[in-house]
Amino acid sequence: MRISVLGAGAWGSALALRLAEHAPVTLWTRSAEHAQDIERDRENRRYLPGFALPPGLAASADLQLAVTHADLLICAVPSNAFRSLALALRDTGIAVPLIWLCKGMETGSRKLPHAVLAEAWPEHPPAAVLSGPSFAQEVAAGLPAALTVASRDTEFARRMARELHDPKLRLYASHDVIGVELGGAVKNVIAIAAGISDGLGFGSNARAALVTRGLAELTRLGLKLGGRPETFMGLSGMGDLILTCTGDLSRNRQLGLRLAAGASLADALQQLGHVAEGATTALEMAELAREAGIDMPITAAVAQIMTQQTPPREAVAALLARDLKDEGN
């Protein structure tokens, strides 16, 4: 099977590197200069330095070529770039099955990627979301990981799980697209809160409480929107949440740490040098929760910090001052 990974950021590059050990892979980037650099260096020094690319991986800035020479497309662009990519894929006139890796919501529309795809390309080919606890650097290094691939076409999800399976990259099939997407989106927001808590020196107990109550927020919203409870207890829910809130390789946790240290949002994002999806998702998720009548206080607090309405320390203090209630509420 020939695979084209569309998006040459850290995660797309890491997955392309892993898959290229068993199949021919094209790594597409919008920038011709970036593609030339990758081919010359045999390494993505911009987003995934230190990892040599295998011979089976080629870089290109030609989308038509990448689609034409593929049996499967893996879309590894940020959530806010997914619509334009879907439109471009539609306009190629070539219907190749696709998987997206986005972990967020589209700014303005508050739509998850599957809804964006349905609008941009109504007659799209079989499609699925791939998500779960996966730091790019560890996947690129060949360390073990497990992910969930979800599609409303259950057989397609199962086939992708079989065909993309690797001894060090285990895939589980699911049909809960909404649940898997929400897990990937909400965990980034909670990870910013965890980074802020750690940066303010509140300790491990506070971080554990944030992760646990963050999972409760995800589950409340997810069930309201049609997700399944087992998804939120699985890899793309609890698994990804734990990793992103505790691991030092987490961009969103690093964003929280920088904000707690006094950096402005703009400076913190510039220091990261990568997209931290939680920064934009927090605002959309907080508004979605409000519209749905779902209580998501951690998400709301992060949204207030992102809009600079509330300083990090005051936001945490407000969370601690909330009225007491039973844990199940």
Q: Are strands 127-131 and 72-75 parallel, antiparallel or unpaired?
A: unpaired
DSSP 80-135: HHHHHHHHHHHHHT----EEE---S--TTT---HHHHHHHH-TT--SEEEEESS--
Q: Is 187 a catalytic residue?
A: yes
Contact 215, 237 (CB under 8 A): yes
Say how far apart CA 304 and CA 57 lie, in whole Å: 43
3-class DSSP string for 210-260: HHHHHHHHHHHHHHHCCCCHHHHCCHHHHHHHHHHHHCCCCHHHHHHHHHH
Say how far apart CA 302 and CA 140 lie, in whole Å: 31
Token code pair at residue 216: 């409760």
Token code pair at residue 185: 């989106």
In sign, the C-alpha dihedral spanning 259, 183, 230, 160 is negative
Tell which phi-psi region holds residue 101, choosing left (phi > 0), alpha (psi between -120 and 50) or beta.
Answer: alpha
The one catalytic residue among 103, 111, 168, 187:
187
Instruction: Report phi then psi at 216, rounded to 5.
Output: -65, -40
Q: Check residue 166 and report its DSSP letter.
A: B
Contact 276, 297 (CB under 8 A): no
Closest CA to 284 of 80, 77, 107: 107
Q: Is 284 helix (H, G, I), strand (E, B) or coil?
A: helix
What residues contact residue 11 under an 8 Å CB cut-off, 6+ apart?
76, 101, 134, 136, 139
The residues carrying an active-site annotation are 187
